Amino acid sequence: MNLETTPVFTKNYTSEKKIKVNRGGTRSSKTRSIAQLSVLWLMTGQISRTRKIPKGVWSTVRKFANTLDTTVIRDFEEELEKQNVFGLLKQNKTRRTYEYQGRMVEFFGADDDLKLRGAKRNILYINEGNELDFKTHFFQLLIRTEDDIFIDFNPDDDTIWINTEIEQKRFYEMGDVEVIVSTYKDNTFLPESLIKEIEYLERTDPEFWKIYGLGEYGKIHGLIFPDYVIVDSVPKDAQFIAHWLDWGFSNDPTSFGSVWRFNSELYFDELIYQSGLTNSDIIQRLHELGITKQQEIVADSAEPKSIEDLRRAGFRITPAKKGPDSVVKSIDTLRPLKKNITSRSVNTIKEFRVYRWLVDQTGNSINEPTDSNNHSIDGIRYVALNKLRGQSSGVYHIE
């Protein structure tokens, strides 16, 4: 096989420890590297430089099953395509399994209790491990895994079980843990434009730089929306408020989703989160999603030509009503309301986990939010500016 790998792949492939903890900053290639390793094992049985597991099961797990298709399965299938081996596999899309010569790679969510406590496996890969609970999820998976375990995550909380239970305890007591710390510098395929974006954090946001630039444990303080609930889906009888649309292209993704109300609570459902989309691409995606002209879209007013493109394509799109202090005003509108995010809204959840107030040179929060990791949140704010008024202790009306 002709794999285009980074040093992160090599470190995982040469490790003979049972548990490989991949702690890394953003875009360090840790997820892609483990996806490549899963393809290598599926096609050859090779799990490390010195070992083969000729038959068995590799389980790739995230917390929520409905996030698999747009994350780890996408990476896995892209590598299968690169290696031109898709046609050799027996695939079951319903079960999310891929088989070849007695080896199987399966994907499931830790929210599936039957799978979580089900059959044993040879190899386990936990993606975004900090989303899982130690006793409820990891322990159940651990005791059903015979051979290798891979875990990857961004270290945005130094109290996470991966640190306390695995790096600080098992590493010394069992001696079967290898911690592989990676950064964007390990990703030899990263474009210069993204390198500049990441290194910009070193000058502007030391806390984020420590976590997402250096892959070191940190603690995010001053969260703007610390309280939200992850739910399976929007309730069937919820009232539609509006769609959000935050434009992006090269480095920033286009974010599109919907805001709903049910029993005086808000629900956010991410539908598009992708970079490189032109206006024509966005229009096509909206048609594919079944967005109708009756459904209002509130978009960033900074791109009037883009708004006009979508309007001429038949969509009901309105610019966000920005003005003096509109960022803080929209945050103040949203903060007292109970907020729910659908589990498939992977990127939106990540933004809520890190969206915080900036700090001054003395370390005190100032009344200005960070201007990064906020594409969905900006879109949700646009809906708040245009559609939500009269907030008082969680009571509001929709315009």
Instruction: Report helix, strand or coil for 206.
Output: helix
Domain architecture of the chain: domains with CATH: 7-186 (3.40.50.300), 229-398 (3.30.420.280)
Question: Which backbone phi and psi does 319 adopt, to 5 degrees?
Answer: -75, 150
The pLDDT tens digits of the residues spanning 184-218 come to 999 999 999 999 999 998 988 888 899 999 999 99
The pLDDT tens digits of the residues spanning 220-234 come to 888 999 999 999 999
Q: How far is 208 from 218, CA to CA, in rounded Å?
A: 8
Angle separating helix axes 30-44 and 7-14, nearest 10 degrees:
50
CA 266, chain centre distance (Å): 21
Q: How far is 35 from 52, CA to CA, in rounded Å?
A: 17
Structure-derived torsion over alpha carbons of residues 243, 248, 254, 257, reported in degrees to the nearest 10: -20
In terms of DSSP bridges, do strands 265-274 and 297-299 run parallel, antiparallel, or are they unpaired? unpaired
- Measure Cα distances from 73 to 97, 276, 341 in Å: 10, 20, 22
| For range 155-165, the mean pLDDT | 94
Instruction: Report helix, strand or coil for 194.
Output: helix
Q: What's residue 392's pLDDT?
A: 44
| For range 242-255, the mean pLDDT | 94
Q: Which residues contact 194 (CB under 8 A, 6 or more apart)?
A: 27, 184, 251
Burial of 268 (0-12, 13-18, 19+ CB in 10 A): buried
Phi-psi region of 211 (alpha: psi -120 to 50; beta: other; left: phi over 0): alpha
pLDDT at 396 over 60: no
Q: How far is 94 from 142, CA to CA, in rounded Å?
A: 25
Structure tokens at 293: 């002209």
Q: How far is 68 from 61, CA to CA, in rounded Å?
A: 8
Q: How far is 269 from 260, CA to CA, in rounded Å?
A: 8
Predicted TM-score (pTM) of the model is 0.84
pLDDT at 393 over 50: no
Residue pair 328/322 in contact by the 8 Å Cβ criterion: no
Residue pair 380/259 in contact by the 8 Å Cβ criterion: yes
Mean pLDDT (the chain) is 94
| For range 61-71, the mean pLDDT | 94
